[in-house]
Amino acid sequence: MNIIVLVKQVPDPEALVEIAASGKDLNIEPKFAINLFDEFALEEALRLKEKHGGSVKAIGLGGPKAIEALRTAIAMGADEAVLIEDESFAARDGYDTAFVLSRALQKEAFDIILSGRQAIDRDRAEVPQMVAQFLGLPHVGVIVKLDVADGKATAESALEGVAEVIEVGLPAIFTAQKGLNEPRVPLITGVMKAMKVQIPRVTLTDLGVSKDAGQKTSVLRYLPPKKRPAVQFIEGEPAQAAREIVRILADVERAI
């Protein structure tokens, strides 16, 4: 069973973020981490490999910093990793990203592609679905369980209140939801190995993709979140206060 995991390096959830003076960029404190949901994907890939044999390969796309997310994958137990290196991808859109990834994936032999359900930086939840589209593969999203047998996979997808059990022929793409597993903490020897391993890098040119392959959307500007209005205390006897609340909700806020 050959499994490929798409891995993204994202700003650490604790990194401070502010809108640049131009309003067109974000200033993000340079602290990075592997995307949380991709860790679930990696863990699932490693467990499938432990059960069924085969190999796990992590693929990342981004600037040289992104190599660290791939090293994390190696530390956890992935057999190999490759970085599609292009600094501009920090600012490019999901369509473009999916296009380039699908080009890279066309050169790979795989039964399963796993990724996180979304990247926690932009939260768009779009790349794996588009990769599936480009490759003409089925996609099962937001999974919390995955079993494989006889060239088919059975996955549970978490919905509001229920879990949907889905069967799909392989190869297919799955996106991991929280609850799928508990990602392992790497062995210290794994970390040492990952420190030293040479992670190959390929360029867009190597993949035969031109620089401006497919960007379809662009960010115009960033707006700060709306300021929360000051808390308003309503005083008085309970019955009178309740009447006042209803009046504000109905006449001032027009919420009811």
Contacts with other proteins, residue ranges (CB under 8 A)? 33, 68, 71-72, 75, 185-189, 191-192, 194-196
Between 12 and 111, name the residue whose CB sits nearer to other proteins: 12
Between 172 and 199, name the residue whose CB sits nearer to other proteins: 199
Between 65 and 216, name the residue whose CB sits nearer to other proteins: 65
Distance of closest approach, residue 233 Cβ to other proteins, in angstroms? 18
Tell me how far apart the alpha carbons of residues 157 and 140 are, in angstroms, rounded to a whole number. 8
The alpha carbons of the chain give a radius of gyration, in whole angstroms, of 22
Distance of closest approach, residue 114 Cβ to other proteins, in angstroms? 21
Between 128 and 183, name the residue whose CB sits nearer to other proteins: 183
Distance of closest approach, residue 25 Cβ to other proteins, in angstroms? 23
Distance of closest approach, residue 210 Cβ to other proteins, in angstroms? 30
First to last CA, the chain: 56
Distance of closest approach, residue 186 Cβ to other proteins, in angstroms? 6
Between 72 and 157, name the residue whose CB sits nearer to other proteins: 72
Query: Of 180, 10, 5, 183, nearest to 78 (Cα)?
Result: 5
Q: Are 60 and 83 in contact (CB under 8 A)?
A: yes
Between 49 and 71, name the residue whose CB sits nearer to other proteins: 71
DSSP tally for the chain: helices H, then strands E: 6, 13
Query: Of 67, 126, 110, 86, nearest to 209 (Cα)?
Result: 86
SS3 77: coil
Tell me how far apart the alpha carbons of residues 247 and 11 are, in angstroms, rounded to a whole number. 45
Distance of CA 14 to the CA centre of its chain: 17
Q: Are 32 and 11 in contact (CB under 8 A)?
A: yes
Distance of closest approach, residue 177 Cβ to other proteins, in angstroms? 19
CA angle centred on 225, ends 221 and 230, rounded to 5°: 150
Q: Are 124 and 94 in contact (CB under 8 A)?
A: yes
Between 191 and 248, name the residue whose CB sits nearer to other proteins: 191
Distance of closest approach, residue 64 Cβ to other proteins, in angstroms? 9
